[in-house]
Structure 1
Amino acid sequence: MSQTFSQLGVSDTFVKALTEQGIETPTKIQEQGIPEILAGKNAVLHSQTGSGKTLAFVLPLLEKLDETKKELQVLIIAPTQELAMQIFQEVKELTKETSFAVEALIGSGNIKRQLEKLKKVKPQLVVGTPRRILELAETKLKLHHLVAIVFDEADRQILDRKSNEDYVQLERKMPGNCQFIYASATATPELINRLSQKVKDPVFLSVNQGIVKNKIEHLFIVGDRRQQIDHLRGIIRNLNITRGMIFVNSLERVKETVEKLTYHGMKVGALSSEQDKFQRADVMQKFSNGDLHILVASDVAARGIDIQNVTHVINLQLTEEKDGYLHRAGRTGRMGKEGTVISLITRHEINKLKKWADAFEIELHEKQYQYGKLTDRNFNEIDNKSSNKQVNEKDVKSAAKK
């Protein structure tokens, strides 16, 4: 039986704020993470995108804040500006009835204004991007009173060589008694090994497989590459998809897919790594408003962006690694809602997809796209056709002998 937020140690103020957002029952990662973080343990939270990891670390850290101390106590580091702002908005919503001073310090902001603000207000919780936090730490942002630091999307911050430089510098600036929390949708052996060496007695909390299977239908359609765009258009129309994401593996394929779908009158936008923050924000706003029905993105462009109420994820190209399937699948079925993942594959990719499904204990269903409709693959019909063909061949041979 699921516990309530109150039973996990969340105070009435934050329970009320959650209820106002329609959040009443903790997810599995929240049930595991909140008590451990409240107890002061170093923690690694591993669960799929959309499983509630942000609240799993934000709620217990808000409980740790001391309103009487006008100093920075909690620091949350996100690798991208978009993700940092999403976390900050969640924190703002939860703390609107409190006197906590919370601040977002991200790279796109004017650093002079941020410095001026830090002269006037001493934030108790900061959400920021690594490089900007390091810049401000050289002057007005004091880190020596920190009680906890979070590295969200830890795999990206630690395993990426360029990002790792900022991570190492931040880690060195932390007080000796600081609590370390890492959140990630992927937990590779390399990441776990590094964290085991760097962090004292971390607890590893993982609920990834249960989330992947929960209320998400996993479908696949086998066909030729040249048919896939036509199938894609038909699927979108057939299922009347108005909140969908299409994933490809390159910037060129993003552009090509958007152009082809737009040509056929579909409301499609791109999430591209070459877009600046204003262009990306504009696309997100249009998708949120319903002006766009479909977003086409690569994994690099879409990572770290929290998009609500996506009903369908379509893999126009499979990722190279199985964990990439998790990242994509996690864009739908978020916070217990239903969702569908559809993979358009060739016959050569069937074994790869089925191998991933076995690894994650996912039940795959094959579909076929024929005559403008998406239907169940009818194996009996195929067998009957094959049998009839054999019978007809026998009849022909028999007639020839006569």
Structure 2
Amino acid sequence: MDFAALALSPPLLQVLEELDFRTATPIQAQSIPVLLQGRDLVGQARTGSGKTAAFALPLLQKIQLPQRRLQALVLCPTRELCAQVAGEIRRLGRRLPGLQVLVLAGGQPVRPQVNALEKGAHIAVGTPGRILDLLERQALETGRLSTVVLDEADRMLDMGFREDMERILRETPPTRQTVLFSATFPPDIEALSRTFQKEPARVTVVEAEAAPDIQQLRYSCAPEEKTALLLRILRHHQPAAAIVFCNLKATVVELTRALVSARVSADGLQGDMEQSERDNVMAKFRNHSTRILIATDVAGRGIDVEALDAVINFDLPSQPEPYVHRIGRTGRAGRTGLAISLVTPQDERKVEGIEQATGVKLERASPETLPPADAASGGALESEWETLLISAGRKDKMRPGDILGALTGEAGGLKASDIGKIDIHDRHAYVAVSRRVARVALQRLREGRIKGRKYWIERVG
């Protein structure tokens, strides 16, 4: 179905045309008409199916811009997903003058969020914990909310947010439109829907599009051989970008240390990190100055990186659903994906469950075909890029062109080919630069000016 056939407002259709979004995905085609009617909805679709736009477009259509008060609330399980969803809402709503979208998530100081709410906003995207905190401070006015969206509701339940979600919903008007999106539909979701929704429409999209082309391999090994085997796999496949999933935060820390000492461009992402650390790690991974990201399921939720070469299960999850979520990050946009699992004798039952649930047998691969683990034999997996952090962002009117101009113009003197991805946040920005000119780029930016002003510049370690 073409977006033009949906009853969307001219500004939203204009943005969709500018972004070259012409055809709605199945979840969008089925959800948008229902949500535009104001009905409650339960949507079941996998990550990467376009569900954010499925709820964001109707939500944006309903916003009354002259009234700068909170009209819609989106709950997400993690800070990363909040940032991603808010970014997509802003992108789709960029032709709506004065639209204010706030991220209300933990890991950031609460005072600036309270101040932003006092100034007024149309849409808030937040984690259950921070939203509850703001409600208890009486800083969040929910009395006139017209829409509440629970995004990745199954994951929020898995993370123990059920009570928080229920308390938040009870603070919102009974007249609200309640939208619930979930990749799976366990009994807890059914119960939540029965309690808080009014005759919801049910939209289920189970792989309506062709399943991504993902080669699923398994390597058998003893538990103590896993790190050495992972190194051999990485040296053999040489991924430019891969995520390695672990079940425990402690494993993420240990494995990151082991890979870095083996000259692998790697970084870890786990729940105990400060938000600024997480932002730095994700910026480096997105702009390819880190090649291997090691993460837990919870920390990895909401990671959406284009052109991911491989997903590696260092530890297999205990249930098939997280396995499907993990490997679904590779093989997107018509590319061939690669999913590799390290299987110890204790994991055989998990493999059976995965194969039964997915209907796909994991292909056995032999470690004998891999190169030895030492860096000398296979070469190090280092990155050709480094990341610089600039102390100005979107709210300082900083644009990618300003940074590119400062680096490649007369004062910077660098080639455009030495500049990689530029990522602008509210109050800071990241730029990837070729490793061989990183020192020069840092010096030129520190000595020079961007848009006539001096900013703090540092290398992201």
| Whole-angstrom distance in 2 between the partners of 1:301 and 1:185 | 17
| Whole-angstrom distance in 2 between the partners of 1:80 and 1:355 | 27
| Whole-angstrom distance in 2 between the partners of 1:160 and 1:224 | 30
Residue of structure 2 in register with 1:285 after alignment: 283
Structure of greater relative contact order (alpha carbons < 8 Å, 6+ residues apart): 1
- The answer on whether the counterparts of 2:99 and 2:122 sit within 8 Å (CA) in structure 1 is yes
| Whole-angstrom distance in 2 between the partners of 1:212 and 1:237 | 31
Structure 1 letter corresponding to 2:193: L
| Whole-angstrom distance in 1 between the partners of 2:31 and 2:268 | 35
| Whole-angstrom distance in 2 between the partners of 1:322 and 1:129 | 25
Deviation at 1:353, TM superposition (A): 2.0
Q: Which of the pair is proportionally richer in helix?
A: 1
The verdict on how the C-alpha distance between 1:312 and 1:10 changes in structure 2, with shifts beyond 3 A counting, is: farther
Deviation at 1:34, TM superposition (A): 1.7
| Whole-angstrom distance in 1 between the partners of 2:370 and 2:157 | 46
Residue of structure 2 in register with 1:202 after alignment: 200
Residue of structure 2 in register with 1:79 after alignment: 77
| Equivalences for residues 1-400 of structure 1 within 5 A | 3-21=1-19, 23-106=21-104, 107-120=106-119, 122-137=120-135, 139=138, 141-158=140-157, 160-161=159-160, 163-210=161-208, 213-334=211-332, 337-346=335-344, 349-350=347-348, 352-362=350-360, 364-372=362-370
- The answer on whether the counterparts of 1:213 and 1:362 sit within 8 Å (CA) in structure 2 is no
Structure 2 letter corresponding to 1:6: A
The verdict on how the C-alpha distance between 1:262 and 1:113 changes in structure 2, with shifts beyond 3 A counting, is: closer
The verdict on how the C-alpha distance between 1:317 and 1:19 changes in structure 2, with shifts beyond 3 A counting, is: farther
SS at match of 2:69: coil
The verdict on how the C-alpha distance between 1:240 and 1:12 changes in structure 2, with shifts beyond 3 A counting, is: farther
Q: TM-score by structure 1 length?
A: 0.82
- The answer on whether the counterparts of 2:319 and 2:353 sit within 8 Å (CA) in structure 1 is no
The verdict on how the C-alpha distance between 1:13 and 1:336 changes in structure 2, with shifts beyond 3 A counting, is: farther
| Whole-angstrom distance in 2 between the partners of 1:252 and 1:211 | 37
The verdict on how the C-alpha distance between 1:292 and 1:70 changes in structure 2, with shifts beyond 3 A counting, is: closer
Higher mean C-alpha displacement, 84-93 vs 252-261:
252-261
Over residues 237-271 of structure 1, what are the superposed CA-to-partner deviations in whole Å (9 max), with x where a residue is unaligned? 22220110001111222122222222221101101
Over residues 110-156 of structure 1, what are the superposed CA-to-partner deviations in whole Å (9 max), with x where a residue is unaligned? 44444444444x32222223344345445454322222111122124
Identity %: 32
Over residues 175-204 of structure 1, what are the superposed CA-to-partner deviations in whole Å (9 max), with x where a residue is unaligned? 121110112233223322332343221233
Any stretches of 5+ residues in structure 1 without a counterpart? Answer: 375-402
The verdict on how the C-alpha distance between 1:22 and 1:166 changes in structure 2, with shifts beyond 3 A counting, is: same
SS at match of 2:23: coil
Over residues 85-112 of structure 1, what are the superposed CA-to-partner deviations in whole Å (9 max), with x where a residue is unaligned? 2111111112222215222142445444
The verdict on how the C-alpha distance between 1:373 and 1:15 changes in structure 2, with shifts beyond 3 A counting, is: farther
Residue of structure 2 in register with 1:394 after alignment: none
| Whole-angstrom distance in 2 between the partners of 1:12 and 1:361 | 44
The verdict on how the C-alpha distance between 1:63 and 1:42 changes in structure 2, with shifts beyond 3 A counting, is: same
- What is the root-mean-square deviation in Å for CA atoms of aligned residues? 2.7
The verdict on how the C-alpha distance between 1:34 and 1:363 changes in structure 2, with shifts beyond 3 A counting, is: farther
Aligned length: 370
Over residues 298-340 of structure 1, what are the superposed CA-to-partner deviations in whole Å (9 max), with x where a residue is unaligned? 1122123333332210011111111111221232234665422
Over residues 360-389 of structure 1, what are the superposed CA-to-partner deviations in whole Å (9 max), with x where a residue is unaligned? 333543332324269xxxxxxxxxxxxxxx
Structure 2 letter corresponding to 1:169: R
| Whole-angstrom distance in 1 between the partners of 2:226 and 2:208 | 31
Over residues 49-106 of structure 1, what are the superposed CA-to-partner deviations in whole Å (9 max), with x where a residue is unaligned? 2222211111121122233444322111223222212111111112222215222142
The verdict on how the C-alpha distance between 1:127 and 1:366 changes in structure 2, with shifts beyond 3 A counting, is: same
- The answer on whether the counterparts of 1:51 and 1:334 sit within 8 Å (CA) in structure 2 is no
Residue of structure 2 in register with 1:387 after alignment: none
Deviation at 1:347, TM superposition (A): 5.0
| Whole-angstrom distance in 2 between the partners of 1:210 and 1:220 | 27
| Whole-angstrom distance in 1 between the partners of 2:97 and 2:59 | 15
Any stretches of 5+ residues in structure 2 without a counterpart? Answer: 373-461
